[in-house]
Amino acid sequence: MRAKNMSKRNSGFAANGRGAVAVQAVITGLALATVWSMPAVASDTGSAAPALHTNQAYVEEVTARSELDITNTDAVFDYAFAQLPDVVKVYPTENYYYFRFAHNGVIFSGNFRFDTTVPKVDRVYFAYFETFTDWRRDEIDQFKGFSDADGVKVEKLAPLVYSVTSKGKTVRFELNDLTNVKPPEGVLNDDERYLGPVFDESGVQFYLVYNAGIKNFLYVLNEQQPIPDELYALEGSDRTLVGRRTGFAFYKDDKRERKILVGVHSHNVETNTYLDGPFDQLPDNFIVGDELKEAILEADPSYAGQIDRFGVLPGGEERFLIAPYMSFTYQDDLLAVPHCTSDPQVPASDYYNCFIFGMDNADEGYSDDSAMEGVPADDAGEEQSDAKAPAGGTQ
């Protein structure tokens, strides 16, 4: 395990930042319009007809001209805040409200965020940056916390509900209340501890679990809610399932009725998309006492005296990285897991070692090349840390 740079998070972690659902907006001349015809809030996820996104709308948005000073953080905050409806729903569990907009042909990503890890939430963090591509990133990167000193008033209305008022406009931010989300009976092993619910910006939900036997973490798929993806079996392993939309790869545990996240696609990690994995959506609002901190120190005692109860290091710019899955490029890379779980050389007691990725020491995980072939040493760690977006937000 290692620390992740919180100023380089898909969710737009900067200094004290972290993430949320996408509002997509664009400037047309001096008029502001919603981008890609996407609603800011999907409060009803029922059986409505699917949204239709047209190339006409896209072309008109990217060809529109804007006089917004994109280097002026205050001006961009005013623009983005003005586009929000009166009430918004913040789905991701690290409390980011993500958005995108087009500015003179360039797509920007950003977020509003509430840092609930501090004793009093008296500001809203705002960040934006040029949306990552495979060929370019980090050209414009802005971050700022807005408070009373900036004419922005933040009030706590109720647990997990905040209002933000700026220039006569008030927006109610409703954070995702997952207080009652727990794994069903029989999902956890005796040596595992449930740390909290994770709602990823991809829309996929997980249980964050600590396995004391392997001294590592697992993201277990929450199947109590409809899965916003279609999973298909990987050729060569009917126990390995991959999401058609997300590219998230799961392994159907042989010992428990559950699916464990084992991979996310490298393109999404490197370009910092909504599909780069749940490592940046820890259950901050639902962590009980020092449970997360204790699990981290059990997994890696070298962080003793360095982290708070959320795993954040002094200065608030880095956080302990919990990314126990591989960053894969080819689907065949995912066969490393079934090769390991079915290998007769692997004792039954070492079964869950097959779910350790990127460990530096062979004795901390199963690393026999014949079983774990194709799993680079740092797939589950450094790439996610380095590829996080600038102080700004998921793409």
Burial 337-375 (b: 16+ CB within 10 A, else e): bbbbbebeebeeebbbbbbbbbbeeeeebbbeeebbebb
Beta bridge partners of 219: 208
Handedness of CA 245, 247, 248, 254 (dihedral sign): positive
> What pLDDT tens digit does each residue of the chain (395 aa) get?
445 544 334 333 333 333 322 222 322 333 333 333 334 444 455 678 999 999 999 999 999 999 999 999 999 999 999 999 999 999 999 999 999 999 999 999 999 999 999 889 999 999 999 999 999 876 778 999 999 999 999 999 999 999 999 999 999 999 999 999 999 999 999 999 999 999 999 999 999 999 999 999 999 999 999 999 999 999 999 999 999 999 999 999 999 999 999 999 999 999 999 999 999 999 999 999 999 999 999 999 999 999 999 999 998 889 999 999 999 999 999 999 999 999 999 999 999 999 998 533 223 333 333 233 333 333 333 333 333 332 334 44
First to last CA, the chain: 25
CB 332 within 8 A of CB 235: no
Q: What is the DSSP string of 188-238?
A: S-TTEEEEEEEE-TTS-EEEEEEETTTTEEEEEE--SS--SS-EEEETTEE
Q: What is the pTM of this model?
A: 0.82
Residue 34: enclosing H or E segment and its boundaries? strand 31-34
Helix (H, G, I), strand (E, B) or coil at 156: strand
Beta bridge partners of 3: 320
Phi, psi of 267 (to 5 degrees): -60, -40
Residue type, 15: A
d(C-alpha 150, C-alpha 184), whole Å: 46
